[in-house]
Amino acid sequence: MEVVFLSRQVVEQVEKIAVPLLQSLELELVEVEYKKEGSNWFLRVFIDGISKPVDLDDCAKASEQLSLALDENDPIPGNYYLEVSSPGAERPLKKESDYQKAIGKNVHVSTYEPIDGQRKFEGILENVTPDEVVVASQVIPRNKIASARLSVVFS
């Protein structure tokens, strides 16, 4: 339980540092993870471009500046590895703006409990409201969504 609380605290503190820094680079924060793998801690920061897709140069620049800001503010006890990368083609949908940008695109949604006998839904995100999303004509209450992400369709 202590590790989960620590992870949540670190993520919140890193987000506060990262958001304005990334905005100054015309990048947006997608997600922050702080996880222990084996005996090592990893801080993973996923970014995307605001007006264009993120590239390797953007990741390198963000990593360098974020590393300096984290060293200066020191929100993380102990040693860790910093990784800055793109969320990839199957980017998670976390924030309201993520859902809004995904309207008309193919998505994959998993729910905490079955809806009409299903827990996984894939198809075009047709509509988003504060209370629900509509994927391939299936209405899914927002409070039942466990995870959602863009989904690549191979033809």
| DSSP, residue by residue, 127-140 | EE-SSEEEETTEEE
Among candidates 44, 53, 145, 57, which has minimal Cα distance to 101?
53
Among candidates 126, 133, 136, which has minimal Cα distance to 147?
133
pLDDT band at 3 (very low <50, low <70, confident <90, very high): low
Assess whether 101 and 71 both reside in one domain: no
Residue type, 99: Y
Whether the model pTM is above 0.95: no
Read off the pLDDT of each residue in 126-131 and give the average, rounded to a whole number: 95
Q: Tens digit of pLDDT for each residue in 21-56? A: 999 999 999 999 999 999 999 999 999 998 888 999
User: What's the pLDDT at 4?
Assistant: 60
Mean pLDDT across the chain: 92
Determine which helix (DSSP H) or strand (DSSP E) holds 80, and give its type and residue range. Answer: none
Determine which helix (DSSP H) or strand (DSSP E) holds 67, and give its type and residue range. Answer: helix 56-73
Domain boundary among 60, 85, 110: 85
| Residue 79, domain member (yes or no) | yes
Cα separation of 36 and 113, whole Å? 29
Buried b (16+ CB within 10 A) or exposed e, 111-145: beeeeeeeeebebbbeebeeeebbbeeeebeeeeb
| Residue 155, domain member (yes or no) | no
Assess whether 17 and 64 both reside in one domain: yes
Assess whether 20 and 62 both reside in one domain: yes
Per the model's pLDDT, the better-predicted residue between 2 and 14 turns out to be 14
pLDDT band at 115 (very low <50, low <70, confident <90, very high): very high
Count of domains for the chain: 2
Residues 6 or more apart whose CB falls under 8 angstroms from that of 145 comprise 109, 110, 111, 112, 133
**The domain containing residue 68 runs over which residues?**
2-85
Domain boundary among 50, 85, 120: 85
pLDDT band at 93 (very low <50, low <70, confident <90, very high): very high
Assess whether 123 and 61 both reside in one domain: no
Residue type, 64: E
